[in-house]
Chain A
């Protein structure tokens, strides 16, 4: 029998954040139907939904962990890994796709030296692909921390990124 011990430490450090999450659960009530809304708050509080957070929610809401984890894994909006300070979302909706969204993915992966779904070593940028951010009129589009950049030219990406790096 192989013993697989996962690297989960069953504690969350930041008490303030936990208190906040507890308040949310209390306000919504520990009902299964509120799980997704609670997860949204958890992600807003911690930036992501760690295994610890999932355990915490499972216990507090008395919902099986497998179910909590199953819901987290089902919805692409939920992230189980920490994100970079700036989140670059490349839209690959149809409009953006036909207008060269793929080139933008290639270029950003190249510039940041990470793949989609990853975070740079300095934790500055995370790269993700979004289905459609509703900016089809402005395709191809990316959004960085919610700011939409429209009609993005792959060759101008470096400049855009530099703007964020400079602010640090």
Chain B
């Protein structure tokens, strides 16, 4: 029984008595069970959990031993509903009511942690039962949020027991208003609502002003999308905010406070209202508070849905019952504010710091933070991040630490793109600045702002033009309409952005946006308008190329602006193969048509079905549901089916045009260019130096991944449209380049990269060192390379994996793969990596080779173990050497596979412009080199890149050459293939990918048989039916 429930509190002694009484009552319990009742957990039905918990406790007669408390938000919103049991500090999460029985029995009766309901680390998949061990909580420092999730927000007694209202008492009886203000000034506390104005100074200005009436307003109109810290504070620790307001009132001489809360926060309004009532009942609000002369009253004002009311003059207009339109400052609120009286407006989080500062002194507070930004800041982590929720960190933590250590990084292995702070008034922080300490100044320098603490993480699938459009839509919608600059200016900006995202952008639009943005910033009446263009300016500054792509190429790299593409997969494909289309054809049982459809954009479906890096799959929307569609595998299925019916694959060709084109290099890029030109009616000759066409496909990819006959069949189809392929014909040796220039009307150079880059380490010239690409090529051309003993492969790309697996097949006893970063950062295809490991390749991640040692042959590899620290631009950790001594592994052979380069002996270096990496300088749009009529594409221009990119270049070159020779630049793709449009949403059920048949590791480790065997027709069709058909337009 609480004896003090009705006691009017008028002195510190009474506070102490309540504290003592509460502790006494509390000590009767053995455990505390804290049920999180934050907004997130409410939506996850925490009420039911609490009832089930109480029921189970009742059943086992534990009610007197376990104190159940309903608390505010603990911060880990996506773990809800959650339950913390003290004193052990165990966190149970993702709870269901039916689990409570077993938790009660296990934890309280048997004294054992019920491990299966504790937190599971998403990376290690291991259970982490104790709160203190969970990374999300480890990095935090809770000053403002200390009570949130810890105390029962309804209990005034518990608040007092935890030290509540002692700060107020101290201020009232031991401090003058001036000394309270001095303390706050000394603490360096700055406004947490976004502006960062020194709080003490604000109070001082209002305190100085002589007036009969003064007001303090607590601004809880938390309007920034993504921010919800104010809400959590009001819901989880309402008395603390009231105490902060009362201290502020005492300091500045105000007797009345308003809390302006958004109507969207009904729970906060309710809990705050209850807290005010409780404080009134107990005499903590009203007259002669704690026996002093202070009279103070608090009233709640409910906002009604207007973002601009976060601006203080607009907020005051709203409190006055008017349209929330801002007005000119000065006069500042501290001179003439609410109803014309001096007024201080503080954000919730700011007020949340006051009691602690007054109680523990400024020095306590200044321990935290940076030089100019003291204390902590609460952030709301949201967006593309694993641990969403509320976190409180000392000012000065780096963005990377907040996002990746506490936030747990980006889900689904996506790359970090940008963080957005400050909502619609804020800006972008790109990967370049992940290591910048977060405080007011540093963020402002980056063109972002601290804002109220919304921190939204966006991954690579975010279109920055669309983000700018979104924010502009937001502010345009929220513009009050009073001043022209914002009312019409934001509307026009939005219209331009909408145009761009719809593919109707015009050259000059970006400049127009900038011009408008600067004027709006410069002339708008209030803070909302003046900052409204920030997201646009910020995205233009950091992502100008995305704007240009939208405007010039009608291309949205992130696959968001759906007017610019057929489907996200098609958009992600450099060659723009209509994946959704051929998948629909497969589902309809028309694999041949599927193959034909692929060939409209890519003449090498069978090859790509085996070796493509399938960027399409990384954008597949199905991944949001379960797993992405096996787009690449389905292409292979269609190709496999088509190869059975090669005779039916007749492809029409346009009449001869009378021009001839020479293609140097018979790799994927050259073949593609040749194929499309031939179909347009050009006479095309391909010059290939090797005995086999196919380039790197033939010699760089092992048979077990891409059998030679597959390549040959597809090349045969290219010959069939009239392409002449001359093998063993090396330009510069067998035929002079100048001859070709005379003979052909245009030339496309696609000779790729044939030479492996040296790693540049000691011992690289020792016998037993074989560079990756040479190793694969020499073997494929039949050269005998003795492979035995222990082989070390250096690198993380596909060539390294291929090298490792081939070495294994060629008789190595052990294959060790060295990679300086971690496994998840390896650029090689994940499936290839897994297969290699299955076959027995030993991976050394975070191991950076330093030197190859040996007398007259390779004897050992010395490497340095690495650790991760700081962040690279895309959010990956930076590997840095550990302080430990280098280690050494005894090896017999080393295969460095880091990168390749090209060499062009047939073109004079002075005849054509080259980059410093020895690649051609080409025009972005036409791929023409600086030599008239000579085009280049693929790896010879880009350096080592993927097959599908080489194919895309071949197409692009074909279009440019056609235009040069008088055509329209439109490729001839034969007859239109009708794509089935029927689709039934209702059939959608979660289902993982349908697998392809593969050889078991045992059956494949020692031979070159193709590892991935085939798709069964039924599995292929079923897999195709998983497609969400994003290409459909309603």
Contacts and interface: CB of A to CB of B under 8 A. Distances in A.
A35 B263 contact: no
A17 interface: no
A36 B301 contact: yes
Contact of A98 (B44, B227, B384): B384
A153 B454 contact: no
Contacts of A131: 223, 225, 264, 305, 307, 474, 478
Contact of B324 (A74, A132, A136): A74
B321 A74 contact: no
Contacts of A133: 264
Interface string B290-312: 00000000000111111100000
B301 A37 contact: yes
B835 interface: no
A128 to B, nearest CB: 11
A134 interface: yes
Given A134-B264, A146-B266, A153-B625, A94 B456 contact: yes
B265 interface: yes
B625 A155 contact: yes
A104 to B, nearest CB: 12
Interface in B212-237: 222-228, 231
A97 interface: yes
Interface string A29-69: 00111111101100000000000000000000000000100
Given A33-B319, A36-B318, A98-B383, A155 B474 contact: no
Contacts of B44: 150
A147 B43 contact: yes
B420 interface: yes
A148 B988 CA distance: 23
Contacts of B318: 36
B650 interface: no
Interface residues of B, number: 61
Contacts of A78: 304-305
Contacts of B458: 98
A77 interface: yes
Interface string A105-143: 010001000000000000000000011111111110101
A149 B388 CA distance: 16
Contacts of A92: 225
A82 interface: no
A150 B40 contact: yes
B1034 interface: yes
Nearest to A74: B323
B322 A71 contact: yes
Contact of B225 (A34, A93, A150): A93
B801 interface: no
Interface in B301-348: 301-307, 318-325, 339
B915 interface: no
Given A74-B480, A134-B39, A134-B231, A94 B263 contact: no
A83 interface: no
Nearest to B1034: A110
The 4 lowest CB-CB distance pairs between A and B, nearest first, are A137-B77, A148-B43, A75-B304, A93-B225
28 contacts: A32-B322, A33-B320, A35-B322, A36-B301, A36-B302, A67-B322, A76-B306, A77-B264, A78-B305, A94-B225, A94-B456, A95-B226, A97-B470, A98-B383, A98-B458, A98-B462, A98-B467, A131-B223, A131-B264, A132-B226, A133-B264, A135-B228, A136-B226, A137-B389, A138-B43, A146-B266, A147-B43, A158-B986
Interface of B: 39-40, 42-44, 77-78, 222-228, 231, 263-266, 301-307, 318-325, 339, 380-384, 388-389, 420, 423, 454, 456, 458, 462, 467, 470-471, 474, 478, 480, 624-625, 985-986, 988, 1028, 1034
